[in-house]
């Protein structure tokens, strides 16, 4: 795919996200392979940066069996985070800026030094400053929540917002922490951090490899969202969303129009 076409698709997906206006699947009209899809994603994030947003890290996708089953895919993907996606713990988040908002429970890493290439799990852990429970708002910008794997990659792996709880010392066993995500006081998803590739550190190591292969090694101070530990839940205005994670605490937000 030529650069002009990549730029056009990047504009379409960026406009869809910015205006909360769904678009037709790219895959229905385009021969969009993985490399081209990531090129579209990169170009769409570049548009955000040109508007003044700042890169804050990466997010991993399709890192749990539940997520793979829900989305009917088998490949791990990744997306890019910016500061405009961040929401404060306890905030009321307007859903009017999303198209098909859903929420999923995650564990997030804060890096204290850069990482790139192929790293072992101990090497990945050594670069971690802190860990925290987090809620990610994912939002496909495609009509009727229908998309192919290449579509979702181009759409920044559906990443749209994130809320981070209290930072904790990473020098603890976080391989199998129980978690409950509730909406309006009712448990909607229960699971464990082991649902993230068996150990969240595996997701971090994959993020290191994938981002480096794209020429964007992970930076000191960046976040790495390890991926959904359970299936995602649809959210609507007027709800309270709460994640409680064993040993790490809680994170929450309310939803508005």
Residue pLDDT tens, the chain, 257 long: 889 999 999 999 999 999 999 998 886 667 788 889 999 999 999 999 999 999 999 999 989 776 667 666 676 899 999 999 999 999 999 999 999 999 999 999 999 999 999 999 999 999 999 999 999 999 999 988 888 888 999 999 999 999 999 999 999 999 999 999 999 999 999 999 999 999 999 999 999 999 999 999 999 999 999 999 999 999 999 999 999 999 999 999 999 99
With both helix axes pointing from N to C terminus, report the angle between 34-50 and 3-19 in degrees, rounded to the nearest 10. Answer: 60
Residues in contact with 125: Cβ distance below 8 Å, sequence separation at least 6, in sequence order: 170, 201
The pLDDT assigned to 148 comes to 83
- State residue 123 phi and psi, 5-degree precision: -65, -40
DSSP 8-class letter at 91: P
Number of domains, the chain = 1
Are the CB atoms for 61 and 207 separated by under 8 Å?
A: no
Residues in contact with 83: Cβ distance below 8 Å, sequence separation at least 6, in sequence order: 53, 54, 56
β partners of residue 101? 139
The pLDDT assigned to 67 comes to 62
Q: Which domain covers residue 121, as residue numbers? A: 3-256
Tokens of 175: 């391989």
The pLDDT assigned to 55 comes to 98
Strand (E) or helix (H) holding 61 = strand 55-61
End-to-end CA distance of the chain: 39
Tokens 């890290």 locate to: 57
CATH number of the structural domain spanning residue 31? 3.90.850.10
- State residue 234 phi and psi, 5-degree precision: -70, 140
């Amino acid at each position: 795919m030529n650069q002009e076409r990549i730029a056009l698709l990047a504009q379409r997906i960026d406009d869809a996200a910015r205006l909360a206006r769904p678009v037709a699947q790219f895959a229905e009209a385009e021969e969009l392979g993985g490399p081209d899809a990531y090129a579209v994603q990169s170009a769409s994030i570049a548009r955000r940066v040109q508007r003044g947003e700042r890169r804050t890290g990466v997010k991993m996708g399709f890192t749990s069996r539940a997520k793979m089953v829900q989305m009917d895919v088998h490949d791990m993907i990744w997306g890019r985070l910016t500061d405009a996606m961040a929401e404060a713990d306890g905030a009321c988040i307007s859903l009017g800026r999303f198209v098909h908002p859903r929420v999923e429970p995650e564990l997030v890493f804060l890096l204290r030094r850069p990482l790139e290439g192929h790293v072992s799990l101990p090497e990945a852990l050594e670069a971690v400053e802190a860990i925290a429970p987090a809620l990610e708002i994912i939002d496909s910008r495609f009509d009727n929540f229908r998309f192919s794997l290449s579509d979702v990659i181009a759409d920044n792996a559906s990443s749209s917002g994130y809320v981070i709880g209290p930072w904790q010392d990473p020098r603890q066993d976080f391989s199998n922490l129980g978690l409950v995500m509730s909406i309006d006081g009712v448990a909607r998803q229960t699971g464990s951090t082991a649902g993230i590739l068996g150990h969240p550190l595996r997701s971090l190591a994959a993020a290191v490899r994938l981002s480096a292969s794209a020429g964007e090694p992970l930076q000191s101070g960046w976040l790495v969202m390890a991926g959904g530990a359970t299936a995602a839940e649809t959210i609507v205005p007027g709800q309270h969303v709460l994640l409680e994670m064993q040993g790490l605490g809680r994170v929450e937000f309310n939803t508005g129009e």
